[in-house]
Structures are given as C-alpha cells and as structure tokens.
Amino acid sequence: MSLRVIVWGTGNVGRPAIRAILTHPDLELAGVVVANPDKVGVDVGVLAGLAPIGLAATDDRRSLMAAGADAVVYAATADTRPEAAMEDLLACLSAGCNVVASGLYAFLHPRTTLPDLLAPVQAACDRGGSSLFVSGIDPGWAMDMLPALVSGTSSAITEIRSREIFNYALYDQPRVVREVIGFGGSMDTLPIMLHDFAIEMVWGPMVRLVGDALKQPVTSLEVIVERQPLQRDIRIPTMGLFEAGTQGAFRFEVSGVTDSPVRFVLEHVTRIDDTCAPDWPHPPEGQGCHQVIVRGNPTITLSLHAEDEYEVGAGGGGNASAACWLVNAIPAVNAANAGILTILDLPRIDGSRQLGTRLP
C-alpha cells in the first residue's frame, strides 16, 4: 500500500516536494498545509506549478493529520519562527507521523544536539512511534553524504571540503535574505546567520556527519567569516533596493578538527550581486553550484549544478534536489526504528522508484 504523505508548506522546498510525491509510486499525497490565507482552498497542483489535481490546500493541520498520514515533509520556514516550527514538529511526531525536513538543522547530528531541544523531540517520537530525519540545507545531500562518497576516489587525503557558491538574488525568501542573512544591511552589524554560534549550530552538524561517516570524529570546530560591501546599488524585482555600501557578499567556512591531520571543511561563498567580491570563487557556470573538493592523490573537484524546469534560477534546482532527497527517503524513514535519524542510520537513498515516472 502507498504511504500517505502530507507536505507542510509550499515554498522553495514544498513545491518540488509535491511534484516528487506525485511521481513516486509508493507515495500518495494526502494533503498540503499552508499558512497564507490566499492559498487556502487553492488546488495544490496549481501551487506546485502544475495543472489542477483535485486536492485543495488547507490551513487545518489537525483535521488533515486526524484523517491519517504516514509522513510529513516539513517545508515551512523555521529560521524566523523557531518556536512555532518546534510546536509543529512535536504535533506531527506525537500523532505518529514520521517527519522529513530540511530546515530543522538542530537535529542534524543528535549526538551534539542540546539536551533541552533533544528531550521533547525524542519523547514525541516515543509517544507516536515515529521518526525524524533532517537532511540539512544547501542541500543536505551535497554537504554530508556526497563528501564521504567522493572520498573513495582519492588517497593520502588531507582535507575534504564541501562548498556552496550562490547568488541569493535567486532565493525567494525576502525576509530571510535581509533579516537573517543580512544582505542590504549595515557592514557595522553582523547578521544573525554569521555569528560563530549560528554557523556552528547550522553547519557544524554537517561537518560532524562527514567525520562520523569516515570514522574520524570531529573533536572541535573552527569558524572564519569574511564580508564585502556592494560597490553599486542593485534592485531585485522580488526584494527591492540593495544600496551600495551595504553587505553584498560574505564567505565563511567551518572546519572540523580531528585527532588526525585531516580536516573536514564546509564553505559558503554567497553574494547578492555577481560583481561583488570578484576575487572569491565563482561557479563554473550559472549563478550557483555545489562542490566537493578532496585534497589528496589525486585531488578531486566535483562541481554540481541543478536545473528544475518548474523553478527558474540556480536556487530552483538545488531546492528541488533537496526536496527529492527528502521524498525519496520517506520509505526508509517509515521502515526505520522510532527516533531521531541521520543519513548514517538509513540504507542507501536512490531514485530507483522514480525511474520512468511522469507527473499527472
């Protein structure tokens, strides 16, 4: 029988998640939860950029979950509403719904999650006999699973680096871009996301997962942040004016130190305008890519660029790949023991059940 799946949110991850569920033969789209009153009652196919499919979006999460579901793709924003997101998560898990999510990064690496956050989630899993799998952002598969895989192509390895290069003018989250990431803000003020504690909380777990996968546990983290101002005013249709002299680019890396000479590094090179910070790395093509660089013999550089026919821009392909990774993991998460899972707790996730499928 098909697993009944709810998609919670119809933003950058929610839309491609809907499409991925519709093409997965083992999954059934049970409903879609929205917060925007303008989306309530709208056919979810239309919200996902498709023809109508006869299923209306709702803001009544309780009735939807009461009707029965095996899993929830939690794609609602958590960055700007952490308490509400936690409430949503606990409700789903307590009701017996497994949850897969990209943005609940506090649970990427349960061994180092703060006990006050871990305890209520574990208790909800116990009550509902449910599981939580967070794959991370940027997207998760490119920052934790892929580096471990690519490491098998080299010897005498000294560093494994995961890198995202991205122009955030393509990211359809204006509030996050300005308030959390800090583009368009004063160079005198460090935005929330670029404080050491935030970088360690969001990206440190992904570095730790690489170390765990390669049996070299990370013992400590080191963070480096650089920023550069815009040299000119730019205007983005969906987000308005970004003035010269305000933050236009940043670069950070978080390094995992181990008991060996090997370092695991996660790096971001991020701009709001392609001409800002010209000396920093650029993608080989387009306005965004993900890279894995294994420094060894040989040194391997793997660059990835994803495109989605339904989502315009570099962000669309990356977001869609993150959504598909979550959706394709649902059967394995559903079959796993109750609790908080990482990619290391699951069998291989692949697209074997998506071969030859088509959207309605």
Helices (H), 162-294: 174-175, 196-202, 204-213
Is the pLDDT at 139 greater than 80? The verdict is: no
Where in the chain is CATH 3.40.50.720? 3-138+317-354
231: tokens are 């040299």
Per-residue pLDDT, 170: 82
Find out whether 100 and 71 touch, Cβ atoms under 8 Å.
yes
What is the pLDDT at residue 315?
Answer: 63
Q: Which residues pair with 263 in a beta bridge?
A: 159, 257
Position 307 pLDDT exceeds 90: no
Q: Give the pLDDT of residue 314.
A: 52
Chosen CATH of 140-311 out of 1.10.357, 3.30.360, 3.30.70, 2.10.25: 3.30.360
Q: Which CATH code fits 3-138+317-354? A: 3.40.50.720
Task: Scan for tokens 């394709």, then name that residue.
Answer: 328
Start-to-end CA distance of the chain, whole Å, equals 20
319-343 residue pLDDT tens: 899 999 999 999 999 999 999 999 9
Which of 38-47, 143-152, 247-256, 306-315 has the lowest average pLDDT? 306-315
Percent over 70 (pLDDT), the chain: 99
**Three-class DSSP category at 293:** strand
Q: Who contacts 61 (Cβ-Cβ below 8 Å, separation ≥6)?
A: 8, 33, 88, 91
- Helix 82-94, helix 115-128: angle, nearest 10: 30
335 three-class SS: helix
347 burial (CB, 10 Å; 0-12 / 13-18 / 19+) is exposed
Q: What is the pLDDT of residue 338?
A: 97
Q: Is the pLDDT of residue 360 over 90?
A: no
Question: How many CB atoms neighbour CB 222 within 10 A?
Answer: 13
DSSP alpha helix (H) spans, 4-161: 14-22, 44-47, 61-66, 82-94, 115-128, 140-143, 145-150
For 100-116, what is the mean pLDDT?
92
* Mean pLDDT calculated for residue range 111-128: 96
Q: What mean pLDDT is predicted for residues 34-49?
A: 96
Query: What is the edge-to-edge ordering of all strands in the sheet holding 27-33?
Result: 27-33, 3-8, 71-74, 98-101, 131-134, 339-341
pLDDT over threshold 70, residue 243: yes
CATH 3.30.360 domain span(s) along the chain: 140-311
Question: What proportion of the chain, given as a percentage, has pLDDT over 90?
Answer: 80
pTM, two decimals, is 0.90
Q: What's the pLDDT at 183?
A: 96
Q: What is the rounded average pLDDT of the residues 263-286?
A: 94
pLDDT value at residue 313 = 61
Q: Tell me how far apart the alpha carbons of residues 221 and 257 are, in angstroms, rounded to a whole number.
A: 6
Mean pLDDT, residues 191-209 taken together: 92
Contact indicator for 172, 152 with CB cutoff of 8 Å: no
